[in-house]
């Protein structure tokens, strides 16, 4: 009896595995094609980054895969696969090139030219010795102003050799590009690492924002991150701001930059541009 059960389980298990295996291979193949055909099925959405006076300073670009059968696929469903298969490198350069082209196009529009675009960069990309050269090439090829470009890194970059990483980061900053530490507070960065990393911004992880108005330690953590940022001369932005009470709690704790559903969901380009224009019409400079 036990053996039969085990056997049955094994059959079910392996059939399940096979199905998953087929679909992972299939997914990888389709993702590869999507990247090769770039703009046809990959799209960037833009989520506003807002200061305490309500001014839009720019946006974070978030990639979506518009799949012919499955519709809009969120990055959580394909970025991990892209990282495992190395597809993250061509995907990342498609995203960066699109962001740079967008910046170059905004530079010609008076209401848009101040905007900064934040682009997510994977640890795999930043581990490439020639990554800063690739970025430099994309910037010169597209004519984007590097001071309008910000790269968001996560603490997983620290898994690679620190000296090389710091050199690449210094080279990126020498181009004029800003560096922001995404999901800050959830990874391994010790205070020692932090003092060695040439970054411009700490981005408070949304888990702290979410816990902020409940009892607990989140408020102390946020206060500490803000003080750390001030001490190191870095700007601090909070992500995942969904409610007005979270926003006012953040302001009280000294945080002055916000991103989250309260200020705007990630949206297609035309909607983002409309939001920026509508806001400027309300508050002339
Ligand atoms: P992330 O960089 O930390 O981006 C923030 C995520 O939080 C986004 O999810 C965004 O849509 C979501 N979010 C924003 N505001 C709120 C809010 O108020 N409440 C809640 N609950 N969520 C909010 P998304 O777009 O699904 O992206 C997930 C992750 O995928 C990103 O996390 C980033 O790590 C990665 N990703 C997205 N685009 C790219 C890309 O072009 N390259 C790379 N390497 N990674 C990317
Ligand atoms: Mg990010
Ligand atoms: Mg984040
Ligand atoms: Mg995140």
| Residue 182 in contact with ligand 1 by CB distance below 6 A | yes
CA of 74 to the centre of ligand 3 (A): 14
| Residue 58 in contact with ligand 1 by CB distance below 6 A | no
The whole-number average pLDDT for the span 175-186 is 95
The span from the CA of 227 to the CA of 166, in Å, is 23
Q: Is the pLDDT of residue 194 over 70?
A: yes
Ligand 1, atom 13: closest residue by C-alpha: 240
Could you tell me which residues come within 8 angstroms of residue 226 by beta carbon, excluding any fewer than 6 positions away? 236, 253, 254, 255
| Residue 229 in contact with ligand 1 by CB distance below 6 A | no
Could you tell me which residues come within 8 angstroms of residue 122 by beta carbon, excluding any fewer than 6 positions away? 79, 82, 83, 88, 92
What pLDDT, on a 0 to 100 scale, did the predictor assign at position 3?
40
Q: 207-221 pLDDT, tens per residue?
A: 999 999 887 899 999
pLDDT band at 71 (very low <50, low <70, confident <90, very high): confident
Low-confidence winner among 71-85, 100-114, 164-178, 254-268 (lowest mean pLDDT):
71-85
| 211 touches 221 (CB < 8 A) | no
- Atom from ligand 1 closest to the CA of residue 261: 18
What does residue 190 show for φ and ψ, rounded to 5 degrees?
A: -85, 165
The span from the CA of 131 to the CA of 260, in Å, is 29
Could you tell me which residues come within 8 angstroms of residue 255 by beta carbon, excluding any fewer than 6 positions away? 204, 222, 226, 236, 237, 238
Q: 137-180 pLDDT, tens per residue?
A: 999 999 999 999 999 999 888 887 899 999 999 999 999 999 99
pLDDT band at 5 (very low <50, low <70, confident <90, very high): very low
| Residue 242 in contact with ligand 1 by CB distance below 6 A | yes
CA of 205 to the centre of ligand 2 (A): 9
Candidate from 44, 62, 179, 244 with most ligand 1 atoms within 8 A of CB, to mutate: 62
Ligand 1, atom 24: closest residue by C-alpha: 75
**Residue 205: CB atoms within 10 Å:** 23
Candidate from 48, 75, 149, 247 with most ligand 1 atoms within 8 A of CB, to mutate: 75
Tokens coding 233: 């001369």
| Residue 240 in contact with ligand 1 by CB distance below 6 A | yes
Please name every residue paired with 66 in a beta bridge, in sequence order, or none if there are none: 72
Token pair 């930043």: residue: 126
Q: 11-31 pLDDT, tens per residue?
A: 444 555 555 556 778 888 889
**Residue 186: CB atoms within 10 Å:** 14
| Residue 264 in contact with ligand 1 by CB distance below 6 A | no
């Amino acid at each position: 009896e036990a053996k039969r059960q085990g056997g049955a389980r094994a059959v079910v298990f392996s059939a399940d595995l096979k199905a998953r295996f087929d679909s992972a291979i299939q997914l990888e193949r389709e993702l590869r094609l999507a990247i090769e055909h770039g703009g046809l099925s990959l799209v960037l959405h833009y989520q506003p980054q807002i200061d305490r006076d309500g001014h839009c300073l720019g946006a974070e670009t978030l990639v979506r895969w518009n799949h012919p059968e499955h519709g809009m696929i969120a990055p959580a469903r394909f970025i991990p696969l892209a990282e495992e298969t190395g597809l993250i490198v061509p995907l990342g350069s498609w995203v960066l090139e699109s962001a740079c082209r967008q910046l170059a196009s905004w530079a010609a529009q008076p209401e848009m030219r101040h905007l900064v675009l934040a682009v997510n960069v994977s640890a795999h990309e930043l581990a490439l010795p020639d990554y800063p050269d690739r970025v430099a090439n994309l910037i010169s090829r597209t004519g984007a102003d590097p001071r309008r470009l910000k790269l968001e890194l996560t603490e997983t970059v620290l898994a690679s050799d620190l000296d090389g990483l710091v050199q690449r980061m210094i080279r990126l900053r020498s181009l004029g590009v800003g560096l922001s530490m995404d999901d800050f507070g959830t990874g391994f960065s010790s205070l020692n690492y932090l003092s060695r990393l040439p970054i411009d911004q700490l981005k408070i992880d949304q888990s702290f924002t979410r816990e902020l108005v409940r009892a607990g330690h989140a408020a102390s953590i946020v206060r500490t991150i803000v003080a750390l940022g001030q001490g190191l001369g870095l700007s601090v932005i909070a992500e995942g701001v969904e409610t007005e009470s979270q926003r006012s709690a953040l302001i009280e704790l000294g945080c002055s930059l916000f991103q989250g559903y309260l200020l705007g969901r990630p949206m297609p380009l035309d909607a983002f541009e409309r939001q920026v224009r509508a806001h400027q019409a309300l508050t002339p400079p």
